[in-house]
Structure 1
Amino acid sequence: MLDFPNAKINLGLYITSKRPDGFHNLQSCFYPVKWCDALEILPAAAEQFDMTGLPVPGNPETNLCLKAYKLLQKDFNLPPVHIHLHKVIPMGAGLGGGSADAAFTLKLLNKQFELNLTDDALEAYARQLGSDCAFFIRNKPVVATEKGDVFSPIDLNLSGYTCVIVYPGIHITTAEAYGNIKVEHPDCHIDMLLKQDIQVWKKVLKNDFEEALFPKYPELPQIKEKLYAAGAVYASMTGSGSAVYGLFKDEPGQLIFPDHYLLWKGLL
């Protein structure tokens, strides 16, 4: 079976408090975008996992796709499979690509072996793999709170807007991003900010990680400025970076970036 795990962007991201378990509470809107990896799962005589596309650092044995398989294999005695992941979404970018791969692995295995797991059950498994993995089970816009794994539906439709995502090749780890973050509760809840006209988001909607990371990586504010100069109605870093996106009501103006940057453009 073949599917295409997609990325997400964060519309606003506020770190509101430090939790006793060492994680942070946050408020953000997760919105799916169509920048995709490719994931194929086939029956096999022995368990096998391999990757092509963008190189993924670390031991393949710790890949989230394999962890997702082992999670269900333990509970449902699944037979061996061959998992092949073609990586297109960059890592350390704040786009949730690895989380999407894990969630789509769960969904594909559920279909392939007719496990009849509900979305609620799949989300419960996904939460064991990572804070934002569960978002990709239903894959619809939500307001995320607590660790980023408690979701509330939001009536937000950006269909027709063009999204441009720029990844400058800077891998920012979660530990680095949170290392200099300031915990500050927003003046009002993020869903109230998102109800305002998109034209004013530039003034009211922010990502707390920008304050911590922009001084260290001047390429990031430069990307954001270029997106606004090209006509974006809203631009922001996504997640804990380092990808920066712009939302355009009309066709973007000319965008010129260094050759090693990765760019994606598509309709929401």
Structure 2
Amino acid sequence: MSEEVSDDGFLGRRLRLLQPKRGHRFGGDAALLVAAARSVMKDGDAVADFGAGVGAVGLGLALLGAGRVVLVEIDPALAAISAQNADRNGLRERTETAVCDVAALCRPGAPADVAPDRFDLVAANPPFDDPGRFRPSSGSGRALAHLGDDVLFADWASAAARALKSGGAFVAIHRPEALAGILAALDRAFGDVRLKPVHARAGAPAGRLLVSARKGGRGPLEIRPALVMHADEGGFTAEADAAQRGEAALDLA
């Protein structure tokens, strides 16, 4: 293994994933997105992982019962690692890697493996740090992954709407302060919106927001009970620990 790559456990070490030691790395957000997405996923569903990185979310969903999974990643180096990770976890036969810009998928001419009306579920971990508040690290991949805005999320939502079958689910993790832009983007093609705030500790402001929506859905928006990550005495809460280990779903259905 290259000295520039680490070998890390994910979902309670049920997956072993290679990832760069510097730059964009998967973490707790990926585990939360898996836990949220599996609440709307049925066994055998066709899944697209937008912004796949080294494949953590898509491979996690493949492990938990998804059918065919397409890992969509703009960075060729990360996409190559995601293919390695699929191989080393015995998931290669059910996964594909598409090297392309997610934002470009909302326009005609998308790659065949991300064809319109193909997927039951799209999971997305979009780049959402505000450029005005984010100081890029020395890893250029991290800067690319974390510099996003409302326009970019709107493009990703449009790409998801194009890729999903009617009634398919779009699940994403984002910043709570981006809620207005998120709702505006989803209003074009989605309904049945579900929101779940994520708090580091009880009483602290939400630091993340889990979002799900259905293509063509017409139901009202619902705010689900918040997830608190850390107990007062330290360590994860029981719900957060189960989500991080891949042992529980976070209800966004």
TM-score over 0.5 (shorter chain): no
Larger-gyration structure (1/2): 1
TM-score by length of structure 2 reads: 0.29
